[in-house]
Structure 1
Amino acid sequence: MEASQGGSERDKSGQSASPITVVSNFWRDFDLEKEKSILDEQGLRIAENQENSQKNRRKLAESTRDFKKASAEEKLSLFNSLLKGYQEEVDNLTKRAKFGENAFLNIYQKLYEAPDPYQALASVAEQDQKLSELESENRKMKVELEEFRTEAAHLKNQQATIRRLEERNRQLELQMEEKVKEIVEINKRSLAEENQKTLEVLKEREQLLQDQLRQAKESVSTMQKLHELAQSQLFEIRAQSEEDRAAKQSEVSLLMDEVERAQTRLLTLEREKELLRSQVQSADEETGAKRSENLDSTSILENSLSAKEKMVSELNMELHNVETQLSNEREQHINEIKKLNAIINDKRSLLNIHKTYKTTKLGFKNNPINPFWPNHLTQTLQQPTPKWHADPITPAI
Structure 2
Amino acid sequence: MAANVGSMFQYWKRFDLQQLQRELDATATVLANRQDESEQSRKRLIEQSREFKKNTPEDLRKQVAPLLKSFQGEIDALSKRSKEAEAAFLNVYKRLIDVPDPVPALDLGQQLQLKVQRLHDIETENQKLRETLDEYNKEFAEVKNQEVTIKALKEKIREYEQTLKNQAETIALEKEQKLQNDFAEKERKLQETQMSTTSKLEEAEHKVQTLQTALEKTRTELFD
Q: TM-score, normalised by structure 2?
A: 0.52
Q: In structure 2, what residue type is equivalent to 1:207? A: R
- Structure 1 unaligned segments of length 5 or more: list them: 1-183, 365-397
C-alpha separation in 1, matches of 2:112 and 2:176: 94
C-alpha separation in 2, matches of 1:228 and 1:280: 32
Higher relative contact order (Cα pairs below 8 Å, separated by 6+ residues): 2
Partner of 2:152: 335
C-alpha separation in 2, matches of 1:340 and 1:305: 51
Contact 2:13/2:103 (CA < 8 Å) preserved in 1?
no
C-alpha separation in 1, matches of 2:104 and 2:69: 50
Contact 1:227/1:255 (CA < 8 Å) preserved in 2?
no
Partner of 1:197: 13
- Structure 2 unaligned segments of length 5 or more: list them: 182-224
Secondary structure, counterpart of 1:361 in structure 2:
helix
Contact 2:9/2:106 (CA < 8 Å) preserved in 1?
no
Give yes or no for the alignment of 1:345 onto 2:178: no
Partner of 2:82: 265
C-alpha separation in 2, matches of 1:194 and 1:262: 40
Q: After TM superposition, give the deviation of residue 347 of structure 1 in Å.
A: 0.8
* Equivalent in 214, 225, 232 of residue 40 of structure 2: 225
Alpha-carbon distance change, 206 to 331 in structure 1, aligned in 2, over 3 angstroms: same
Q: Map 1:9-20 onto structure 2 (within 5 A).
A: none
Partner of 2:52: 237
Q: After TM superposition, give the deviation of residue 224 of structure 1 in Å.
A: 2.4
Q: Deviations over 1:346-393 (max 9, x none)?
A: 2133235435655663489xxxxxxxxxxxxxxxxxxxxxxxxxxxxx
Aligned residues: 176
Alpha-carbon distance change, 266 to 313 in structure 1, aligned in 2, over 3 angstroms: same
Contact 2:9/2:103 (CA < 8 Å) preserved in 1?
no
Q: Map 1:259-298 onto structure 2 (within 5 A).
A: 260-272=77-89, 274=91, 295-296=112-113, 298=115
Q: After TM superposition, give the deviation of residue 230 of structure 1 in Å.
A: 0.9
Q: After TM superposition, give the deviation of residue 242 of structure 1 in Å.
A: 4.7
Alpha-carbon distance change, 341 to 331 in structure 1, aligned in 2, over 3 angstroms: same
Partner of 1:23: none
Alpha-carbon distance change, 280 to 352 in structure 1, aligned in 2, over 3 angstroms: farther
C-alpha separation in 2, matches of 1:227 and 1:294: 56
C-alpha separation in 1, matches of 2:32 and 2:164: 118
Contact 2:28/2:90 (CA < 8 Å) preserved in 1?
yes
Q: Map 1:163-182 onto structure 2 (within 5 A).
A: none
C-alpha separation in 2, matches of 1:226 and 1:256: 17
Query: Identity across aligned pairs (percent)?
Result: 10
Q: After TM superposition, give the deviation of residue 227 of structure 1 in Å.
A: 1.3
Contact 1:213/1:273 (CA < 8 Å) preserved in 2?
yes
Cα RMSD of the aligned pairs, angstroms, is: 4.6
- 4+ runs deviating over 6 angstroms: 190-193, 276-283
C-alpha separation in 2, matches of 1:287 and 1:275: 23
Q: After TM superposition, give the deviation of residue 232 of structure 1 in Å.
A: 1.8
Q: Map 1:1-397 onto structure 2 (within 5 A).
A: 194=10, 197-198=13-14, 201-243=16-58, 245-246=61-62, 247=64, 250-251=67-68, 253-254=70-71, 257-258=74-75, 260-272=77-89, 274=91, 295-296=112-113, 298-313=115-130, 315-317=132-134, 319-320=136-137, 322-355=139-172, 357-358=174-175, 361-362=178-179
